[in-house]
Chains A and B, each alone.
Chain A
Amino acid sequence: MNLKLLSDELMLTGIITAVLLLDFIIKDKKQIIAYTFLALIAGLTLFIGLHRQQGVVLNGSFIYDGISWFSKLIIMLGAVLATVMSLETIKVKPKYTGAYYALMGTSALGMMFLVSSKELVTLYVALELATISLIVLSAMHKHDDLSLEAGMKYLLLGALSSGILLYGLSLVYASAKTTYLDRIMAVVSSGAAGPAFILGIILVLLGVGFKLSMVPMHVWTPDVYQGAPTPVAAYISVASKAAGFIFAIRLFQYTFLKLDYVWVPILMVLAVLTMMIGNLVAISQKNLKRLLAYSTISQAGYILVGFVGASVIGISSVLFYLFAYTLTNILAFTVLAVVAKNTGSDELADYSGLARREPFLAVSLMLALLSLAGIPPLAGFVGKFYLFYAAMEKGYVWLVIIAALNSTLSLYYYLLVLRQMYIYDSAVEMPKMKIPVSLRILIIVCIIAILAVGIMPGWFIDTTTEIAQNMFTYTK
């Protein structure tokens, strides 16, 4: 058994252990733990980025291929950026600092296993590791009723969806007589798919939909985003969603690929519903975190449009969008975290006159929202264009038209936010906001990255295309 392939996961486990031990040793100045954790996971991200491997261990239950490399990078990028955001903005008691960062690590570990497992038991356990850690992180602001409620709702809906997922997995396992994805795929390809198998796939689709915040499993999203600490909400919206989509790609674009006549029509309908519900409900939101939550629901719909598209281009476009979306969403949530730190509120009304008071923050939020809306030359535009292109390749013109109309609709509520910041003025004079240096750096880095990806997407698209091809050519 080649343990080298597991080096990323093993190192992350080591980091988690180190954080927990440091928590025992350091009695005061708990912030040291946070900086140590940040340094270690930043180092790990660099290591993963420079050290791509290829191989399979444990009879094919664990694989290190291009797609797991890329998604590990997205997950770790999300973890690093969320950690930077956490340094100054979370209101967790000092004695829980160690636990907070350790749980951040365990959730990243769960997602890393989720993106590189090819065996149902491992996938399920990894999924639950990620979910359970995120539940605790959401409920971490114990002094805040909203945070506890967010944790409760996340747990109840998460448990319900994993129950549905498990029932589906049991039918899939029974029909294929195995829990290994490669062997399940062989059974699918041989054409032996009974009604129980097909029903199992539909139940699995619903269960996975929870992670993607896909309609009808989306109801937790706004509550969790609003109640959870802002860095945790950002982390859930990027890393957890990315891991969920990779899980879905491994299941549907790989294992159940030959059964696409079953899941593609369902996914198309759900994609349309997800986009429409996300966008329509977002318009009436008065809280910016809830607005972003509905916006992420609609983003999930756009990603599904690319997901049903042609296989290699489809996967490549999903990966590219997830990357662009990570940068954009982190930027938006960082601005929210800074404003909330100063004013103590996420209400849209408190953003009046932000452009005059804090032009830097206002411009950053504007760039993030325009990128989410898909305005050139920002990263979100290229990502969305690529997703729609992938669906066009497959001939789903009507789907692309609906998606484009939805995208226009979404511009409306993003502009509402901009109007609040640029045109309205605040009634009361506010003191100057304090922007911590770490967050200022984070914002600038995200803006540069969004512009860079938006203006020069060529290299990134080449990478994601190569990775998507790699998934089909490299199986054993």
Chain B
Amino acid sequence: MVETLLFYVFAAAIVFTAVMMVLSPNIFHSAIYLALCLFGVAAIFAMLGSFFLAGLQVLIYIGAVVVLTIFVISLTRQVSGESDAQMGNILPAFLTAGLSTTLIILAVLKTDWNTMAGESVAALEKTNNVTLLGNQLISSFVLPFEVISVLLLAALIGAVVIVSKDAGENK
């Protein structure tokens, strides 16, 4: 019962902050709402028993991505302080978003998850599975694990190249 209540509280928080993030005319407020929304998602991960991912979500998403975003917003203050209230093409965007959400919900409700592959959906176990994740990461998923190291290297080089100042550049 407590669990049900918690789920609805978190779900409402996520939806509310996400809507506010999208609609807020001030980009700085948007970033704060995004951080709150990501906290909500982390709480959902924890409710699902995936405590490790909840931690990752807080550390990487909120700790790195959102903080970096706020940094960039502050650095570009002159422009990003401007109101962003005037949004373009609201109606087509609303129709696209509404249609896709409705379709997904309908499809998910129509799908019988219990009988899909002839087995029942396992009951949610609240055990910690960090050991399993670690083992999988260096056995079945070792290839993406290696590829992502190259990806991070490429992103690092790219960010350095793009952002570094050159002599003789105006500004």
| Chains A and B touch each other in the complex, with CB atoms below 8 Å apart | yes
In the complex, how many residues of chain A place their beta carbon closer than 8 angstroms to a beta carbon of chain B? 49
A121 x B141 contact (CB < 8 A): yes
A330 at the interface (CB under 8 A from B): no
B78-114 interface code vs A (CB 8 A; 1 in, 0 out)? 0000000000000000000000000110111011110
A126 at the interface (CB under 8 A from B): yes
The complex places the Cα of A138 from the Cα of B153 at a distance, in Å, of 17
B116 at the interface (CB under 8 A from A): yes
- A215 smallest CB distance to B (angstroms): 15
Closest to A113 in B: B147
Closest to B110 in A: A195
- B106 smallest CB distance to A (angstroms): 7
The complex places the Cα of A124 from the Cα of B169 at a distance, in Å, of 37
A106 x B103 contact (CB < 8 A): no
A136 x B140 contact (CB < 8 A): no
A196 x B157 contact (CB < 8 A): no
A126 x B147 contact (CB < 8 A): yes
Chain B positions within 8 Å of A229 at CB level: none
B154 x A103 contact (CB < 8 A): yes
Closest to B166 in A: A93
The complex places the Cα of A110 from the Cα of B147 at a distance, in Å, of 8
Chain B positions within 8 Å of A176 at CB level: 117
A151 x B143 contact (CB < 8 A): no
A135 at the interface (CB under 8 A from B): yes
A133 x B154 contact (CB < 8 A): yes
Q: Quick one: given A103-B154, A151-B162, are A192 and B118 in contact (CB under 8 Å)? A: yes
B157 x A61 contact (CB < 8 A): no
The complex places the Cα of A96 from the Cα of B144 at a distance, in Å, of 28
B143 x A58 contact (CB < 8 A): yes
Q: Which listed residue (B118, B144, B157, B160) contacts A122, Cβ 8 A? A: B144
A196 x B147 contact (CB < 8 A): no
A184-217 interface code vs B (CB 8 A; 1 in, 0 out)? 0001000010111111000000000000000000
Chain B positions within 8 Å of A124 at CB level: 144
A136 x B154 contact (CB < 8 A): yes
Chain A positions within 8 Å of B144 at CB level: 119, 121-122, 124-126
B147 x A129 contact (CB < 8 A): yes
Chain A positions within 8 Å of B140 at CB level: 58-59, 61
Q: Is the interface of A mostly helix, strand, loop or mixed?
A: helix
Q: Quick one: given A62-B143, A125-B144, A140-B161, are A106 and B107 in contact (CB under 8 Å)? A: no
- A318 smallest CB distance to B (angstroms): 25
Chain B positions within 8 Å of A16 at CB level: 150
Closest to A58 in B: B143
A125 x B157 contact (CB < 8 A): no
A132 at the interface (CB under 8 A from B): yes
A356 at the interface (CB under 8 A from B): no
Within 8 A of B (CB), among A110-155: 110, 113, 117, 119, 121-122, 124-126, 128-129, 132-133, 135-136, 139-140, 142-143, 148, 151
Chain A positions within 8 Å of B158 at CB level: 99, 103, 132-133, 135-136, 139
A102 at the interface (CB under 8 A from B): yes
Chain B positions within 8 Å of A175 at CB level: 111, 116-117
Q: Quick one: given A122-B143, A122-B147, A177-B117, are A103 and B107 in contact (CB under 8 Å)? A: no
Closest to A167 in B: B104
The complex places the Cα of A140 from the Cα of B161 at a distance, in Å, of 8
A285 at the interface (CB under 8 A from B): no
The complex places the Cα of A125 from the Cα of B152 at a distance, in Å, of 11
Q: Which listed residue (A126, A132, A142, A192) contacts B154, Cβ 8 A? A: A132
Chain B positions within 8 Å of A468 at CB level: none
B72 at the interface (CB under 8 A from A): no
A199 x B118 contact (CB < 8 A): no
A13 at the interface (CB under 8 A from B): yes
Within 8 A of B (CB), among A242-257: none
Which interface residue of B107, B110, B118 has the most chain A CB atoms within 10 A?
Answer: B107
Closest to B155 in A: A132
A194 x B154 contact (CB < 8 A): no
Closest 10 CB pairs of A and B: A136-B158, A194-B111, A196-B111, A195-B107, A199-B107, A125-B144, A106-B154, A129-B151, A195-B110, A122-B144
Q: A174-B113, A175-B116 are in contact. List 12 more A-B contacts (CB 8 A).
A: A58-B142, A99-B157, A99-B158, A106-B153, A106-B154, A129-B150, A136-B162, A139-B162, A142-B161, A195-B107, A196-B107, A197-B111
Residue ranges of A at the interface with B (Cβ–Cβ < 8 Å): 13, 16, 58-59, 61-62, 93, 96, 99, 102-103, 106-107, 109-110, 113, 117, 119, 121-122, 124-126, 128-129, 132-133, 135-136, 139-140, 142-143, 148, 151, 167, 171, 174-177, 187, 192, 194-199
Residue ranges of B at the interface with A (Cβ–Cβ < 8 Å): 103-104, 106-108, 110-113, 116-118, 140-144, 147-148, 150-151, 153-155, 157-158, 160-162, 166, 169
Instruction: List 19 interface pairs A-B (beta carbons < 8 Å), by A numbering.
Output: A102-B157, A106-B150, A106-B154, A107-B154, A122-B147, A124-B144, A136-B155, A140-B161, A142-B161, A142-B162, A151-B162, A176-B117, A194-B112, A194-B116, A195-B107, A195-B108, A195-B111, A196-B111, A199-B107
